[in-house]
Structure 1
Amino acid sequence: MSAQPILKVQRLTKTYRTAAGPLTVLHEVSFELEAGASLAVVGPSGSGKTTLLGLCAGLDGATTGSVALAGEALEPLNEDGRARVRNEHVGFVFQNFQLIPTLTARENVLVPLELRGEGGREAEAQALLTRVGLGERGDHYPVQLSGGEQQRVALARAFINRPKILFCDEPTGNLDAETAHAMVELIFGLNRERGTTLVLVTHDPELAKLCGRVLRLRGGAVVA
């Protein structure tokens, strides 16, 4: 008997109401992902990649279709319920880092635990900062860090709650080539070490090739 997929997406559709009428940005997308697998979501701008990521992570609700994350269906849940599932199972790395400017690097890493009401894990946060090469920068604020360093803080933050699945939205999009290469090595290295499932949206074909599977979108639909 096969293990339950960590992510199961069935006929997922997202339609927005606009002044010009309904706009469907995602149309009946289906796929499954096993625990520990890696998936790249690729396609031209406007093909629905980031929308798909948000629906899979429970950041938004679908118009029709279903998402099961770590065995839990997201459709019946309200916003608080989806937030609980995210806090329990999900890590995020965004293109724009999304660090809190008034918190130090270490405090930013600890934010997901604060949201869960968990304290006393400063040593783990420091260990993660060391793992991403920022062991000496824990007391620095985001403004004192380069873009690449901020993205590494964001990666450490994503792993602090030991997520079952990591969602990355263009994680190297704002980084120079050398820094991007280092970031990719960290993402896949932590992914292997911790057995985390990886779903990443990227325009970079070389980055997509590193994933076990590639999902290609065009016009909101899966084409390959």
Structure 2
Amino acid sequence: MLKLKDIHKSYLSGGHPLEVLGGISTSVEAGESLAIVGPSGSGKTTLLGICAGLDTPSSGSVHLMEEPLSELSEDHRARIRNQHVGFVFQNFQLIPTLTALENVCIPLELKGQRNVHKKAMSWLERVGLAQRSDHYPVQLSGGEQQRVAIARASVSEPAVLFADEPTGNLDEETSGQIEELLFSTHRETGNTLILVTHDTELAAHMDRVLRLRNGMVEMAQA
């Protein structure tokens, strides 16, 4: 499903290269769940973006669904993301001028599918928000917005779901509900789940944990 080999990522800072990732290698099997953890500044979100094809490494190779992401154009990577990837962000990233239902429809419309409202509504029902389908993001709580975001990320049945601190902006009770929703979706769809989190309890429920420190793998555990 996903293979990383010797991933390095550097940025220019004050005219000098700043290495964010220093040689990450790992692989994730289809249907597996992986948590990427570590202190702030350890490179977690950068690594997740490279895994998802949102960013490219300075060196090293990334293969997602057997496609060499690091060698492809942005347009080609975008097509792979549209076809195979779902993404859940910490700050939800719903389009404010669209209703919950319209937000969930977006991935299906990008694929040119028909009967998108029916399928989108079925996912809003699965996340417990069918009765809020005509509400705009500003009319929803943080937990409700994240439920919509999970429905949007899952509606096109992606092979792999990436989540960047999906409970980071939520209170403890709501975080627990979102975690259970992520895991139930993972079980029902059989997708591959890869997430970044500071939540040690959430990480403990994943199949494997990859711990980063200073841009390098400090520990990998099952």
> Given the alignment, which residue of 190, 195, 203 partners 1:200?
195
Moved more, 113-122 or 78-87: 113-122
Matching residue of 1:124: 119
Shift in Å, 1:20: 4.2
TM-score by length of 1: 0.96
Q: Could you tell me how far apart the structure 1 residues matched to 2:115 and 2:139 are? A: 25
SS of residue in 2 equivalent to 1:136: helix
Q: Could you tell me how far apart the structure 2 residues matched to 1:96 and 1:119 are? A: 29
Contact 2:5/2:61 (8 A) holds in 1 = yes
1:36-47, aligned counterparts within 5 Å? 36-47=31-42
Per-residue Cα deviation, 1:149-186 (whole angstroms, up to 9, x for no partner) = 00000000000110100100000000111111000000
Shift in Å, 1:12: 0.7
> Given the alignment, which residue of 196, 207, 210 partners 1:212?
207
SS of residue in 2 equivalent to 1:103: coil
Matching residue of 2:30: 35
1:157 matched to 2:152: yes
SS of residue in 2 equivalent to 1:178: helix
Per-residue Cα deviation, 1:99-139 (whole angstroms, up to 9, x for no partner) = 00000000000111222222322111101001001011111
Matching residue of 2:178: 183
Matching residue of 1:134: 129
1:59-138, aligned counterparts within 5 Å? 59-138=54-133
Contact 2:109/2:116 (8 A) holds in 1 = no
- Matched letter for residue 150 of structure 1: Q
1:17 matched to 2:12: yes
Shift in Å, 1:95: 0.3
State how many pairs are aligned: 219
Per-residue Cα deviation, 1:16-42 (whole angstroms, up to 9, x for no partner) = 112140001011100011100000000
Shift in Å, 1:53: 0.2
Runs of 4+ that moved beyond 6 A: none
- Matched letter for residue 194 of structure 2: V
SS of residue in 1 equivalent to 2:132: coil
Moved more, 187-196 or 112-121: 112-121
Q: Could you tell me how far apart the structure 1 residues matched to 2:179 and 2:89 are? A: 13
SS of residue in 1 equivalent to 2:35: strand
Q: Could you tell me how far apart the structure 2 residues matched to 1:207 and 1:116 are? A: 32
1:7 matched to 2:2: yes
Matching residue of 1:3: none
TM-score by length of 2: 0.97
Contact 2:52/2:85 (8 A) holds in 1 = yes
- Matched letter for residue 184 of structure 2: G
